[in-house]
Amino acid sequence: MTIEMIIVLAILAFMVVMLLTRIIPYGVTAMICCVAFVLTGVCDLSTAFSGLSNSTTIMVATMIVVATALGKTSLVHRLRGVMTNLQGKQGIFLVVALYVITIALSQLMGQIACLSIMLLFVQTLDEKSSISPARMLFAVACINTIWTSKIPIGMGATMPGTINSFYQGMVGPEDLLAITDYFKAGILPAIVGTLYCILCYKLIPSGKIDNSQVKDVKETEALSRRDEIITFLVFFLVMGGFMFSNQLGSDVTNVLPAAGVLILILTKVLSVKEAVSTLTSDMVWMIAGMTVMSSVLGSTGVGDLIGNTVLNILGSNPSGLFVSIVFCVVTTILTNFLSNMGTMALMCPIAAATAQAGGMNVKAVVLVAAVSSWFAIAMPTGCAGAMMAFGIGNHNAFKVMKFTLPLVLLLMISLIIGVNLFFPIYN
């Protein structure tokens, strides 16, 4: 082992600790690692900060802006209108309707924004009925966690690029995810999890919403008809580019969201301040830094070292089923006690390194880690949605396990089946 590899391992260890403890923001952690690479001579300045100009970073950052604009259209307001019309409804119809609306909102906005909107409605439910506010808040939080960014539209269109940024420096372009790969790997768990939540929501303890933890949700004004038409045209232009990426080429495809952002700014649909605040968010800094980290792991040989180490633990010639089970179980446990995005950033490079070392399908192993990073609903520490569900719903993690443990187990089983069906571990 060289001095350079030891330095990279030390910086990697720092990153892992910071990702798992969340002492400082993810983006700041990534940038500290980039600075450390320069100061220790692992790479030069231009290489250390090349992630800021990387095509994946640019695509994801600008696509988030486009998705944010889409979330301001009348779609959200129409969904709120549907919720208003559901007042007085009871039974399984109301449950299914709540889930469908949650799934739709989960493709247009982040977890906190989605659940804040759903909270406005579930607070009005009868506390004495089987569909009580605390119970349904937890149920829709589960649906939100299961479905967030699964469909490749809106925020979902950014997820494959985000995952790619975690390991793209370690592999060739053929091993990177296409825009529909995350959807194909995650659709079976999403469907199975939704059916379970429809049939078994009564296993969630019924209690009272903790109003002391409920913050007012501001009603955002809908875009004008003109602005809405422009937003939809930009969105369909970008999505059309993704669909025809093979014909257009990766450069054109990745720059289309940036062109879309410029159109939204020039037509005053979005202000420069709104666009810049999203383009410089912590998520974007994390993606840029992780892109560099994956490149350093690949160029210094540390990625091979990690892959061979994990492969030795798995044993000689492990079966594809065994590999997928191990990564699914380990990732699911980590994500419930740590955080979903931090777990994904940690496990995807390890999955890619292991797959390469063992001659496996890199996409398959990475997707197991990426999708199971979102099975983060059994503990309040797992993700923002879990924090809201447990905190505002005043739920005890142990008492709600009669609902969450079977759910997580079903999600894991269906993911393993789905990945091995669509992406065999050994090609």
Residue 220 to residue 160: CA distance in whole angstroms: 29
The predicted structure's pLDDT at residue 238? 84
C-alpha count within 13 angstroms, C-beta hemisphere, residue 351: 37
The predicted structure's pLDDT at residue 76? 63
Residues whose CB is less than 8 angstroms from the CB of residue 72 and which lie 6 or more positions away in sequence, other chains included: 220, 222, 223, 231
Residue 104 to residue 114: CA distance in whole angstroms: 9
Contact 352, 295 (CB under 8 A): no
Residue 295 to residue 302: CA distance in whole angstroms: 10
Residues 236-265 as b or e (16 or more Cβ within 10 Å = b): eebbebbeeeeebeeeebbbbbbbbbebbb
Please write the tens of the pLDDT for every residue from 176-207. Answer: 998 899 999 999 999 999 999 999 999 998 87
Contact 331, 369 (CB under 8 A): yes
The pLDDT of residue 283 is above 70: yes
Q: What is the mean pLDDT of the chain?
A: 85
Q: Is 417 exposed, middle or buried (0-12, 13-18, 19+ CB in 10 A)?
A: middle
Indicate yes or no: pTM above 0.95.
no
Residues whose CB is less than 8 angstroms from the CB of residue 421 and which lie 6 or more positions away in sequence, other chains included: 188
Q: What is the mean pLDDT of residues 51-60?
A: 84
Domain residue spans of the chain: 3-422
Q: How many CB atoms lie within 10 A of CB 315?
A: 9
As given in the structure block, the two tokens for residue 172 are 């060739």
Q: Which of 141-145, 261-265, 379-383, 396-400 has the lowest mean pLDDT?
A: 379-383
Percent helix / strand / coil, the chain, rounded to 5: 75, 0, 25
Rg, the chain, Cα only:
22
Question: 144 or 87, which is more confident?
Answer: 144
Please write the tens of the pLDDT for every residue from 212-266. Answer: 555 544 555 667 889 889 988 998 888 788 777 767 777 888 888 899 999 999 9
Phi-psi bin for 88: left (phi > 0), alpha (psi -120 to 50), beta?
left
Please write the tens of the pLDDT for every residue from 258-276. Answer: 999 999 999 999 889 988 8
The predicted structure's pLDDT at residue 40? 94
The pLDDT of residue 370 is above 90: yes
Q: What are phi and psi of 73, to 5 degrees?
A: -75, 180
Q: What is the mean pLDDT of residues 162-168?
A: 90
Residues whose CB is less than 8 angstroms from the CB of residue 274 and which lie 6 or more positions away in sequence, other chains included: 65, 68
The pLDDT of residue 363 is above 90: yes
Q: How many CB atoms lie within 10 A of CB 317?
A: 10
Per-residue confidence band for 85, with pLDDT thresholds at 50, 70 and 90: low
Residue 200 to residue 407: CA distance in whole angstroms: 9
**∠226-229-234 over CA atoms, to 5°?**
125
Q: How far is CA 216 from CA 115, 116, 212, in A?
A: 12, 9, 11
The pLDDT of residue 89 is above 90: no
Residues whose CB is less than 8 angstroms from the CB of residue 214 and which lie 6 or more positions away in sequence, other chains included: 119, 123, 392
The predicted structure's pLDDT at residue 217? 47
Phi-psi bin for 82: left (phi > 0), alpha (psi -120 to 50), beta?
alpha
Residue 167 to residue 186: CA distance in whole angstroms: 19
Q: What are phi and psi of 20, to 5 degrees?
A: -80, -30
